[in-house]
Amino acid sequence: MTGRRRERRAAAPYPRTARVNEVLREVVADATERMADLDDRLRMLTVTAVDTSPDLSHATVYLSSLPDAAREALEAQRAELQRAIGREVRLKRTPHLHFAADPSVAAGQRVEEILRHLHEDEGAGPRGAAPDDGPGDGAGEARA
């Protein structure tokens, strides 16, 4: 041994693809925001996540909503978005981008709708539950 200590790198807190996904999300969001100044179809789009394949050759960009007009605009601007990634991120290959609506946003809206209906039903008439009869949280109160 030569007497030099080998430096040990701390293990990354998450896999490389997760780090790449986050960087790509930021780059695509910034580029999309700049493009929205020139193309109104790209306004009001929010990039929620990016999911890359294990070999980093393909990336799916998830957006909060994806109307048909916005999808067409993104498909037309795909090459420019990939160029922005190539300029700002150092990768062996620039991933081929695909665009999709984020399913978690739709699921969240569905949950909110269900909760809203439950709340409306609760306000319309209790089903065996006593209505709220005043201030207090009701904890520790005995009912006769």
Structural domain containing residue 50: 16-105
Q: Per-residue pLDDT tens for 9-56?
A: 555 556 888 888 899 999 999 998 888 888 888 888 888 899 998 888
Is 2 a member of any domain? no
Asked if residues 49 and 21 have their Cβ atoms less than 8 Å apart, the reply is yes
Domain count, the chain: 1
User: Is a pLDDT exceeding 60 seen at residue 6?
Assistant: no
CATH number of the structural domain spanning residue 47: 3.30.300.20
Does the structure show a pLDDT above 50 at 144? Answer: no
State the pLDDT at residue 60.
92
Residue among 46, 59, 47 at smallest CA distance from 17: 59
- How distant is the alpha carbon of residue 34 from its chain centre? 19
Return the pLDDT at 44. Answer: 83
Residue 88 in any domain: the answer is yes
Q: For the sheet with 58-63, list strands across it.
A: 47-52, 58-63, 96-101
Question: Which of the 8 DSSP states describes residue 90?
Answer: -
pLDDT tens profile 90-113: 888 888 999 988 888 778 888 888
In a domain, 91, yes or no: yes
Instruction: Find the range with the poorest average confidence among 8-12, 17-21, 70-74, 123-127.
Output: 8-12
In a domain, 119, yes or no: no
- pLDDT band, very low/low/confident/very high, at 132 (cuts 50, 70, 90): low
Q: Which helix (H) or strand (E) holds 52?
A: strand 47-52
